[in-house]
Amino acid sequence: MHVHTIGRGPTVVLVHGFAMHGAMWLPSVLPLAAKYRFVLPDLRGFGRSRRVPHTRADVVETFADDLEDLLAALGEPKVYLGGLSMGALTSVAFASRGGFERVVGYAHVDQAARIHNGDGYDAGLFGAGQGARFGELEVLRARIAPYRDHRYDALPAELREAVLDTFARFFHDAFHVPWLKRATHAVRDPRVAKLVLSTDPWAPYFDCLGAYLDVRHDYEEGFREAHTKHPVPLTFMIGARSTMYPPHGQRELAESIRRVSPRPDQVRVVELDAGHAIPVEAPVAFVRALDRAISEAFSSA
């Protein structure tokens, strides 16, 4: 697993989201690099770890394994942890197995702890529109399944077009700012897509798609139990305009943890005027909130 390291001071590990890599954090951490040492992993299948294969169907649990291994390899008695989107889901999966023993605090950035809707719950991935979107993704998965082990360039042209259209829609959902939403249409152009997405190999995207569709990830109870055992400061950063994960579900998650917390004052909610991609759409506010969360966590450790 490739890891970017920058800065000096107490160690902060930040886990990136789907289709991204550790370097996505650089604009956010550079202003803080004189205060903290940031460790930014590339999850397997992405960035410079893109050739590390997934070894089981549930990629989230595999990512949690890798996060556990990373913290063990660092050998730090206390680190601050943060995750965005899929990186946050990885972090709560890790927390649910008792992994917060050496974590002094955690920033949970725009992510539900339960992915699939049902039983009165509508705050999973894509919110109330999940059924239709998952149906479209199931159709795409069936089309691309025979080509999983082929080179991306060997896919039929119409299938490559469908894949790029899916990515463009995904990035479109991640943003709220109008010009950024419009800019995502450029991903449909293969020349632009090569600058944004690594398709060598392209199977990791397929693996993640399968895991999100097939595995009913639900870490709400595990997250609450982890916090009652290790009541570290939690900061929920919510995109107030997020359509990827409805804000009301994230607020309810934070409140459910606050109700059982031995230290309810340490469960904080920070809502930012942004969509899902908070570090991109609200960069200054995000850096300030992250700095405050890290500083307070290490001060109280």
Q: What is the pLDDT of residues 112-161, one digit of tens each?
A: 999 999 999 999 999 999 999 999 999 999 999 999 889 999 999 999 99
Global pTM exceeds 0.85 = yes
What does the block give as tokens for 273?
């005027």
**Residue 163 pLDDT > 90, yes or no?**
yes
Q: Please tell me whether residue 284 adopts helix, strand or coil conformation.
A: helix
pLDDT computed for residue 301 by the predictor: 80
Q: How many CB atoms lie within 10 A of CB 286?
A: 23
Q: pLDDT tens-digit profile of 195-243? A: 888 888 999 999 999 999 999 999 999 999 999 999 999 999 999 999 9
Distance CA 297, CA 290 (A): 11
pLDDT tens across 65-90, in order? 999 999 999 999 999 999 999 999 99
The Cα-based distances of 52 to 146, 153, 196, 214 in angstroms read 21, 20, 20, 22
Give the tens place of pLDDT for each residue, 229-280. 999 999 999 999 999 999 999 999 999 999 999 999 999 999 999 999 999 9
pLDDT digit string, tens, across residues 41-67: 999 999 999 999 998 899 999 999 999
Query: Would you state the pLDDT for residue 55?
Result: 87
Instruction: Give pLDDT, residue 195.
Output: 87
Q: Give the closest residue to 221 by CA, choosing from 251, 257, 246.
A: 257
Q: What is the pLDDT of residue 286?
A: 98
Helix (H, G, I), strand (E, B) or coil at 246: coil
Under a CB-based contact definition with an 8 Å cutoff, are residues 25 and 82 in contact? no
Residue 163's nearest CA partner among 137, 201, 186, 185 is 137
Rounded-to-integer distance, Cα 43 and Cα 21, Å? 7
The 10 Å CB-count burial string (b at 16+, else e) for 33-60 is eebbbbbbbbbbbbbbbbebebeeebbb
Q: What is the pLDDT of residue 239?
A: 98
Confirm if 105 and 293 have CB atoms less than 8 A apart: yes
